[in-house]
Chains A and B, each alone.
Chain A
Amino acid sequence: MSMTESLSHGTSWRRVKSVIFRAFTLLALVFVLGPAIWLIVGVVVKAVPHWSWGVLTHVPSGNGGGLENAILGTLVIMVGVLIIAGTTGVLAGVFLSEFTGVNRKGRERGTILRTGIDVLAGFPSIVLGYVGYVALVVGLHWGFSLLAALIILSLMVVPYITKATETALRQVPTSYREGAEALGMRTGYGLRKVVLRTALPGIVTGLLIAESITVGETAPLLYTAGVTNNLPNWHLVHHPIGYLTYYVWTDWNQPLASLHYISYDASLILLVMVLSLLIVSRLVVARSQRHSEAAR
């Protein structure tokens, strides 16, 4: 075999490898996107033909009615988790990234805290839900209540927010921090005005994941929020609260078409909620990043 033949052989084999690799990446994409598209199309196709706007303005009654209580309940829970887990998670992330420092041997401190957060993220939600039931609903005599649900859901999602915040802050270029420091800015001031602003997309992504989990969670809510067909009433304890995922699950298990419709309606509303969340957060990020290096 001559030199040129072996060379051309090498080239064509490289091409084959390249084609195979591309095919695999495409296949992986199909595996990821396929089910999502199938799910969305499925829900839309089943829900839209029977859609009635009354679903938004009526509470469940008999074998039909609407989902007003569950929509408002889910919104209240989302806002509550955003307040509790959002504040805690972002502050914890700031602490881990900015204030743990290094020990005398030059090693990073905060390893135990980070491990603890990873462990918390690994708990099955049903376990956290049961803990909430035993400790809060029964133990503290709160009964099925908004507060119990918020605390347990916050515990569930706070690791995601903390991790995202810490990672985002660590990716802020040292030159920004040094610039702020060299101008004589207070640590907290520089953090607020320069560093956090740069890290915002990462932090918002963390919050988004947390809220998406919150919207879709069912098991821990069954144990803590209970459920009710009444509208949310601003009582933190002793009053159960309704939420959409409950109706997706329960109504689907009923032998009635009218309830199946409600189940699909609830799914559709959940999808719209998550989508709006996604759009709003992207807008927030785009606005805050109009002066960023990436947006140049």
Chain B
Amino acid sequence: MEEVSKFKVASSALDAELARLDPDHDRPREVIATKGLNLKFSDKTVLSGVNMNFERGTITALIGPTGSGKSTFLRTINRMNDRVAGFRHEGDVLLDGESIWGDQQDLLTIRRRVGMLFQRPNPFPMSIRDNVVAGVKAHGIARGKQLDVVAEMRLTEVGLWDAVKDRLGDSPYRLSGGQQQLLCLARALAVGPEVLLLDEPTSALDPISTEAVERMLRAMTPALTLIVVTHNLGQARRISDQTMFFFNGQLVEHGATSQVFQNPREIDTERYVQGLMG
């Protein structure tokens, strides 16, 4: 008995010590939070009244029919909508407790901290190596020989290194679609983001590539926080901790993924996750 209690004391001390060592320990648990967020294009409201917390190190799936406002929501978080004509927002999005539209915020820094992966792989027209380090170079994070190290590290991280190590100077468009998407993932990871936004990252990929990307995504937590728009309900169930269901410009329901899929509170959610509504 004494042994066990001793162990318990030691373990709680260890937990406390580990918590202290966590670089994020004095930051808010919610890396992203939205407060009464309304999004409009000109006079048309595309999303209204979204209050949502995204906890550090979790994966959130955004599901809902086409036109439900989930992609608009996603693109608002790294301010990709700011330059779209007629875009307006009410309410706020907080990154580590600070408004992303605040006067002190630097847009380029936000984009570095909140990365994005798109629906279709979009490598730049430069060599494979240059693609990986494009963001690193732009932010002046590394230069010269360091860039080669960054390229190798990130390509290894996404499991692409062995496939491309002998043709780093080649065009990225000779890679398969899945490999291109992993390359884009490596490029996004290279600038050291805290949050990664993914807009249907596997919808243009075949099942095997999809599995590879999903495996990567799961391996990236808890170091990263992921927010994933997906039309693939199976994918949402497989990879996410929590799920948000959007419908007709409203956040209809959100909660733990198992609850949303097995025990939906709203009838629309139930119809959607059962495949009765497209």
Contacts and interface: CB of A to CB of B under 8 A. Distances in A.
**Interface range for B:** 20 to 34
Interface string A194-206: 1001100000000
A23 interface: no
B124 A182 contact: no
Interface in A101-135: 101-102, 106
Given A176-B125, A292-B125, A184 B139 contact: yes
Given A106-B85, A178-B80, A194-B124, A183 B118 contact: no
B111 A184 contact: yes
A184 B112 CA distance: 5
Contacts of B191: 183-184
B174 interface: yes
Contact of B138 (A101, A184, A295): A184
Interface stretch (A51-59, A148-156, A185-193, A276-284): A185-193
B135 A184 contact: yes
Interface string A149-190: 000000000000000000000000101101111111110011
A290 B171 contact: yes
Contact of A291 (B42, B112, B127, B187): B127
A88 interface: no
A292 B173 contact: yes
B173 A184 contact: no
B244 interface: no
Contact of B135 (A185, A290, A296): A185
B125 A183 contact: no
A183 B187 contact: yes
B125 A194 contact: yes
B118 to A, nearest CB: 6
A125 B247 CA distance: 61
A291 B115 contact: no
The 7 lowest CB-CB distance pairs between A and B, nearest first, are A184-B111, A183-B135, A175-B122, A182-B116, A291-B171, A296-B173, A184-B112
